[in-house]
Each structure stands twice: as C-alpha cells, then as structure tokens.
Amino acid sequence: MQNIKYSKKVKEHFLHPHNMGKIKNADGIGKLGNPACGDVMYIYLKIIKKNEKEIIKDIKFQTMGCAAAISTSSMITDIVKGKTLEEAFKITNKDVAKELDGLPPIKMHCSNLAADVLKEAIKDYYNKQKNRKIKYEKTACYKCCDSKKEMD
C-alpha cells in the first residue's frame, strides 16, 4: 500500500467537507465517474439571474471516493459559489489542486473529475435553456456515470 501525503487543506476538506448534500429541484446536475479508481461525483446547482448574469446561488455535491475526490468536490464548491456561470466554467483541475495546496501526482485525476463534473452541471443547466448548448473537452479519463438516476 502506498503512503500518500496530503496537504493540510486536503485533510481539512476531507474531514469537514463544505456544501455536501443534494439540492432538490436543482437547475443543473453534473454526474461523472472514473472507472479506473471508482470515484463518482455529483454536483447540484441553483442558479439565479442578476443584472442579466447567471450566478451560482447554491452548489452542493455528493461524492463516493477517496480523500482527494471528496476534498476536490468540497473545494470546487467553495471556489465557484457566488460566481457567474462563465467564471465557473473557466475553473480548471489545476485551479482546484492549487487551492488545496497541491495534490499528490497520483491523485491529480481527482481534481480533473471535480472540474469536469462542474462543467457537466453547467452544461446540464444550459441544455435545459432554449437554444443554449455548450461543449467542452473532458480532461480526465472517465466516462459518464452509467446510471442516470441520482443518488438517494
């Protein structure tokens, strides 16, 4: 078994995750899984419109996975809460890892999953709007969750 060293911030977000849970009637839902490691993440968004801008009023996550997966999920919710969708969409895996004071190289795929599941939630929101579609290239090696059902 490998001895993986995590930063203090990673440990704090793992032990005391922020914004964990589910938003009923979410405006956007992102679901991704990484078959290589078994991590599965869900992100739920509540969007408000203010001065013609769409702002993330609330964001929650549900993650089944390792300490890095839970920590990156928690951190990305902190990073984007209150931001516009355009600002949130620009968040990268490197941004998430940097805010956590780094991740071990073997765990960087977890930050990719967090950044991409956020983009999936934003994409879901846009897809629900008339004539609004968005595309992006995923940065991690995973596929969308096979199950279309949300976690209970």
Tokens of 127: 């897809």
Residue 134: pLDDT band (50, 70, 90) is low
| Adjacency order of strands within the sheet including 39-50 | 28-34, 39-50, 53-64
pLDDT at 66 (0 to 100): 87
State how far the Cα of 87 lies from the Cα of 105, in Å rounded to an integer: 26
State how far the Cα of 114 lies from the Cα of 98, in Å rounded to an integer: 13
Q: Is 37 known to be catalytic?
A: yes
Give buried/exposed letters for 88-102 (b at 16+ CB in 10 A, else e). Answer: bbebebebbbebbeb
pLDDT at 109 (0 to 100): 64
Q: Is 141 known to be catalytic?
A: no
3-state secondary structure of 126: helix
The fold adopted by the segment(s) 19-128 is Sufe protein. Chain: A (3.90.1010)
pLDDT at 113 (0 to 100): 85
Bridge partners (DSSP) listed for residue 59 = 45
pLDDT at 150 (0 to 100): 41
pLDDT at 73 (0 to 100): 96
pLDDT at 146 (0 to 100): 37
Catalytic pick from 110, 141, 144, 145?
A: 110
State how far the Cα of 115 lies from the Cα of 112, in Å rounded to an integer: 5
Residue 152 CB neighbours (<10 A):
5
pLDDT at 107 (0 to 100): 77
Catalytic pick from 37, 66, 141, 145?
A: 37
Q: What is the pLDDT of residues 14-47, one digit of tens each?
A: 999 999 999 999 999 999 987 667 889 999 999 9
Tokens of 15: 């032990």
Domain ranges for the chain, please list them: 19-128
Q: What is the pLDDT of residues 97-117, one digit of tens each?
A: 999 998 888 777 666 788 999
pLDDT at 103 (0 to 100): 86
State how far the Cα of 24 lies from the Cα of 128, in Å rounded to an integer: 16
Q: What is the pLDDT of residues 49-83, one digit of tens each?
A: 999 899 999 999 999 988 889 999 999 999 999 99
Tokens of 13: 């977000």
H or E stretch covering 140: none
The torsion angles phi and psi of 74, rounded to 5 degrees, stand at -60, -45
pLDDT at 110 (0 to 100): 61
